Amino acid sequence: MRNLWKSAWLVALGVILLAAGTAMAVLAQEGETETPPVVRQVSDDEVNEVAKDLYCPVCENTPLDVCGTKACADWRELIRTKLAQGETPQDVFNYFARQYGESVLAKPPREGINLVLWLFPIVAVVLGLVFFARYLQGIRAQSAETVGGTGPETAVSQPPPSADDYAARVEQELHKK
């Protein structure tokens, strides 16, 4: 039974580590700093870097950097102009969100109802784990009860004697024919 708990903790630890990894990834993105504004030549790559986090407001579900329509080409020029005037990528995002609604942002702002998007995966995993732990606890309690008794259930759930050896299993399969 101690093994049971040991492995439960191992599983829980694994999931916590993964959750921590996600959190770190999120925090790392928070810490990104923007380059100071300078009036300058803006390359296509810089424009695309911003445009890839925007979705085309008119065509359906196409990131702005790859959209082939004339309208999107114009929007990319707008981004270029804005960047050349010294606006930061965040300013550009804000401008587009103001003009066309927040749904043009590939990464919705982490506020208000949008927080659900970040909390839900974590909450779902944690709740699932809690449910799991309770389920296993229930089994533990039940199997403790039936240790003395010799009901038919306990007989069924006994492991077969030699199921532990892989080679034996293959051997067994070989003998079948």
**Interacting residues with another protein (CB under 8 A):** 3-4, 6-8, 11, 14-15, 18-19, 21-22, 25-26, 43-45, 48, 53, 55, 60-63, 65-66, 68-69, 73, 101-108, 112-114, 116-118, 120-121, 124-125, 128, 132, 136, 139, 142-143, 152-153, 156-160, 163-164, 166-167, 170-171, 173-174, 177
CA 50 – CA 5 distance, rounded (Å): 49
Torsion of CA 36, 42, 47, 49, to 10 degrees: -50
CA 100 – CA 30 distance, rounded (Å): 24
Phi and psi at residue 87, to the nearest 5° = -75, 150
Q: 6 vs 38, which CB is nearer to another protein? A: 6
Q: Could you tell me the smallest distance in angstroms from the CB atom of residue 9 to another protein?
A: 11
Q: Could you tell me the smallest distance in angstroms from the CB atom of residue 58 to another protein?
A: 10
Q: Could you tell me the smallest distance in angstroms from the CB atom of residue 76 to another protein?
A: 10
Q: 86 vs 121, which CB is nearer to another protein? A: 121
Q: 88 vs 114, which CB is nearer to another protein? A: 114
Q: Could you tell me the smallest distance in angstroms from the CB atom of residue 89 to another protein?
A: 14
Q: Return the SS3 of 55.
A: strand
DSSP string, 64-116: TTT--SHHHHHHHHHHHHHHHTT--HHHHHHHHHHHH-GGGBSS--SSGGGHH
